[in-house]
Structure 1
Amino acid sequence: MKKHITLVLAVVAILCTTAVSYAQNARMPAVPVDSAVRIGRLDNGLTYYIRHNEYPKGLADFFIAQKVGSVLEEDNQRGLAHFLEHMCFNGTKNFPDSTLLNWAESVGVKFGQNLNAYTSTDETVYYLSKVPVERTGVQDSCLLILHDWADALTLDPKEIDKERGVIHEEWRSRNVGMQRINETIMPVIYPGSRYAHRMPIGTMEVVDNFPYQALRDYYEKWYRPDLQGIVVVGDIDPDRIEAQIKKLFSGIRLDENRAERVYYPVPDTPGTIFAIGKDKEIAQARIEIVYKHDAYPDSLKNTMDYYISQYVIDMASQMLNTRMSDMMTRPETPFTAAGSYYGNFAYSKTKDAFSVVGIGKGDSITPTLEAVYRELLRAAKGFTPSEYDRARAEYLSRLESAYNGRSTRTSNSLGFEYVRNFLDNEPIPGIEKEYSMMKFWAGQIPVEIINKVIPQMIGKDNRLVIAYLPDKDGYVIPDSA
């Protein structure tokens, strides 16, 4: 994300009156790590996070995050990453058949609610939440479940065959308007990229026909300690949990000849890509204007550079959103909702994007596209000091509320924060340090710096216009022109 790094270094130069050169890799100090969380790494590469937290009292949350997802599948494996997630609940070495689900229910952990998982293109995360942990035996069982998910699935052929039908039903239930359009437009928005054909649900041809050994090979290849992170947060003794993690997980072997975990790029694209989809189940027309950018390097996220860049982008986006929200109060506005956000580009970890979204009225999306684009171009000309004062005050108010509520921060929210640190190196300074740091920096950054953001993020290349439109009589489906 060279544009954003350049912008942040300009901020540093203005505020600190020092000459800063990105070419020389000059950066601000590292963001400290919250001392309340214990982070360790075993010899086999497995990382763990442990924190004592008493809200809610008597409960704890357990996670295992895997730097593995559907983007790692070959063409003949599409769907195996997601299928494997399902199989983690269908038999392990220490919890054969359905005994894992039965045990969880016996201690008040409900499958689908407090016991669940998700698979994305670049990650897979499993968790047990709000587990009553007064008995240490329950804590040990939860860690044993994480261990079995990491390295001891049974992958019984009979269970695999039963799960094929379950996956089919999930695919059928999700095969609705937005999903069908996504399947069609992914190759359009991802030209020349592996992400074009790696939706986690996969293909039903693979799900129906893959041989049993193919799933085991995928499991053995990618579920390994150097790509795994354990997170335990709650009303527990960190010393005891750490000892148990070392006892259970240290014996998992890391193959010296393991495959390289590749993070697949998303190519830059000249001009504008138009991806227009329609479906009879789409009730509200949606238009997106998207500008791709290089993802901020994980290796640089632990510096104040990153924190300040996120603040600057957030302020610009928030002020644009306020303008569009004000427009929605006027009856002549051609959209029912609109807003902007910054984050990963679609399903990819290796590309970020600034997006402006509008939900249309009437029988054509074109007026909505014109309106949100016009407002984006107006924002690129700058915001007023009074707009920034309002946005900054709202930001500081949210920050202060988080600080004041720090004693009631839930174990679940803390746990997912550490999951993101493991997967993406997102900073975890803790709310006390974050409140102190950002209260200072918010007061130092002027509106002139904020006004540099949107002009840097929008351009005529790496741009996409994506439309999700209703397929019904009388609705105008635009072409690229």
Structure 2
Amino acid sequence: SPEEWGTSALAQLPPQAQHGVLGNGLRWIVQENREPKARAELYLIVAFGSLVENEEERGIAHIIEHLGFSATKAYENHAIVKFLESIGAPFGACQNAYTSFDRTVYTLHVPSDKDELVSEALTVLREFAFFTRISEEDLEKERKVVLEEWRESKNAQGRLFEDYINALCKNCKWCERLPIGKEEVIKGVSAETLRNFYRSFYHPARMAVVAVGDFDGEGVRKQICELFDIPPGEIEPLAREPSPPDRPLYAVPDTPGVLVASSTDPELSFAQGMLDCKRPKQEMRTIEGFRRNLTEDLFHKAFSSRLLKLTVEPKGPRNFFMVSTETGQPVPALNPLSISLAPLPGRMRQALETVVEEIERVKRTGFHPSEITRAKRSMLAEFEEEFIEREQRPSETFAEEYVSLILDDYPALGVEERARTAATVLPTIRGEDVARVADAFDFGRNVVLKIATPPMSVRNPMYT
């Protein structure tokens, strides 16, 4: 009953997914899925990224990710890359792994028509997990590659992202630990420092293996158990401590008024803006949390219809090419309500004012029942389409959901359970519930505005 939804936990996984925990604490999820045919998604998930770096270590989580593709205990001289190339899989540190603030994820997209290919790919994941080789020679070879990535991150988009994170997460760890790191650390950090980090944070109890694809699930499960169930103290040459490190949780502090991050970008042909009303991460562990998420989605659908009219049939001057709202997650600690827009030349201020006025109108008068009805019908149609096409759902979609489950505690309901839960919850959501979402657009504090404009805007204010 609705009264119990606040304490009724959502299903964590769909029934077709096998899952468990090895003796060393490593989690695993295995699921057979036939789309695409003869392909498999194999992920190693490490629950740490740049947030746990010390000041003199900034960027080393990303360097370690790179070094895994260079050499390990069993693979010398980029042999892993050569293996991936030989089987026609995408390869390279940028295509097969990423390092973020609170995670490092290795992703292998491999053919599964031969069992030995899946077996070797799982062995490669084990090498990343336990046996990445971190010698001074390996590090010197990789510095140039990582430094080039660091330089590329200093382009217009990269600078805007850094300014945006600094504004969004002002005075806290998130803006002090950008994953790309610092140039002087990349140039001068020692292999011993990297080995100590790897030994500390690549702990089995803070890792997981996800395998989804067109394969024999039971066979893959057995291989994961055989390959990865190594006691922490027996991982050689870099033995791990018996107890895993804690995963830090850093809150983002409130900020007064509006903070602005802006830049010019030569690749843009028109200005773009995004306004975030930041708030803490919204948990979705219960049916009530699911209902809240649906309510916000209904708001964005109903409000998008109004925004479309403002775009194509404005009552006054037209202000934007495109505008939308969404619930975002720029960093794992936040779920801001966001406005994205592409204004006409010279009309950024007027475009923002138009959207803010419309949101304030919703706060005052709500939505018409017909607006809510249309939004609900649209949402139900999406759930029905997803249910009908559930057998065509790609393995990568499942794998990404399981990453969110493991790292963000975000339930991976599965298509059938999600549709059933939505069908139960949706009729209970009233128009006034949807309208109240507008109250979370608080324009008096915790507001971050990101603006990117063409270079012409420096000389011609018509473009801002």
Instruction: Give the TM-score normalised by structure 1.
Output: 0.88
**Quick check: 1:186–1:197 contact (8 Å CA) kept in 2?**
no
Partner of 1:213: 192
Q: Which residue of 1 aligns with 2:296?
A: 313
How far apart are 1:228 and its partner, in Å?
0.9
Q: Shift of the alpha carbon at 1:433?
A: 1.7
Task: Indicate the larger mover: 238-247 or 113-122.
Answer: 113-122
User: Aligned equivalents of 2:15 and 2:265: distance in 1?
Assistant: 53
* Structure 1 residues 188 and 435: alpha-carbon distance in aligned structure 2, compared to 1, 3 A threshold: closer
Determine whether 1:398 maps to 2:382: yes
Cα offset for 1:186?
3.4
Q: 1:50 aligns with which of 30, 52, 55?
A: 30
Matched letter for residue 77 of structure 2 = D
Specify the alignment match of 1:414 in structure 2. 398
Match of 2:250 in 1: 264
Are 2:369 and 1:385 equivalent residues in the alignment?
yes
From 420, 425, 430, the counterpart of 2:409: 425
**Deviation, structure 1 residue 353:** 0.8
How far did residue 32 of structure 1 move?
5.8
1:273 paired residue number? 258
CA distance in 2: counterparts of 1:311 and 1:81, whole angstroms: 36
Out of 67, 70, 77, which is 1:90 matched to?
Answer: 70
Partner of 1:338: 323
Residues 1:113 and 1:208: Cα distance change in structure 2 (over 3 Å): closer
Aligned residues: 451
| In 2: Cα distance, 1:99 partner to 1:280 partner | 39
Q: Deviations over 1:173-194 (max 9, x none)?
A: 3322121123335333322201
Which residue is equivalent to 1:289?
A: 275
- 2: CA distance between counterparts of 1:128 and 1:257? 28
The residue aligned with 1:224 is: 203
Distance 1:398 1:160 in 2: 49
C-alpha distance after superposition, 1:68-87 (max 9, x if no partner): 11122111111111112111
CA distance in 2, matches of 1:48, 1:351: 27
Unaligned runs of 5+ in 1: 1-11
Deviant stretches of 4+, over 6 Å: none
CA distance 1:252–1:95, shift in 2 (3 Å): farther
State the shift of 1:165 in Å. Answer: 1.3
Following TM superposition, by how much is the alpha carbon of 1:360 offset from its aligned partner in structure 2, in angstroms?
A: 2.1
Deviates more, 1:449-458 or 1:314-323: 449-458
Kindly state the Cα deviation for residue 329 of structure 1 after the two structures are TM-superposed.
Answer: 1.2
d(CA) in 1 for partners of 2:9, 2:136: 53
Whichever residue aligns with residue 363 of structure 2, its letter is A
Match of 2:169 in 1: 190
- What is the alpha-carbon distance in structure 2 between the residues aligned to residue 29 and residue 84 of structure 1? 37
Does the C-alpha gap of structure 1 residues 153 and 404 become closer, same or farther in structure 2, counting only changes over 3 Å?
Answer: same
CA distance in 1, matches of 2:183, 2:13: 44
Corresponding residue SS for 1:340: strand
Question: Which residues of 2 match residues 245-256 of structure 1 at below 5 A?
Answer: 245-253=224-232, 255-256=241-242
CA positional deviation for 1:457? 4.7
Alpha-carbon contact 1:60-1:411 (below 8 Å) kept: yes
SS in 1 for 2:125: helix
Question: Contact (CA 8 Å) 1:342, 1:353: kept in 2 or not?
Answer: yes
* Counterpart secondary structure, 2:247: coil
Tell me the C-alpha RMSD between the 2 structures: 2.3
- Please give the residue correspondences for 1:463-478 in structure 2 after superposition, counting only pairs within 5 Å: 463-471=447-455, 472-475=458-461
- Note closer, same or farther for the CA distance 1:176–1:32 as it changes in structure 2 (3 Å cut): closer
Work out which of the residue numbers 455, 458, 466 in structure 1 matches 2:439. Answer: 455
1:443 counterpart residue number? 427
Q: What letter corresponds to residue 31 of structure 1 in structure 2?
A: A
439-448 or 408-417, larger mean C-alpha shift: 439-448
- Aligned: 1:124 with 2:124: no
- Please list the CA deviations of residues 385-413 of structure 1 after superposition, one character each: whole Å capped at 9, or x if unmatched: 11111111111111111100111111111
Partners of 1:459 and 1:452 in 2: how far apart?
A: 15
Quote the sequence identity (%): 26
Counterpart in 1 of 2:134? 155
Equivalent-residue separation in structure 2 for 1:94 and 1:191 (angstroms): 43
Bigger mean CA deviation after superposition, 449-458 or 68-77: 449-458
Partner SS, residue 82 of structure 1: helix
Q: How does 1:355-366 map to 2 (within 5 A)?
A: 355-363=338-346, 365-366=348-349
CA-to-partner distance for each residue in 1:422-472, whole Å, 9 max, x for gaps? 111221222112112212322232212212222245352323333334452
Q: Determine the C-alpha separation between the residues in 1 that align with 2:80 and 2:439.
A: 53
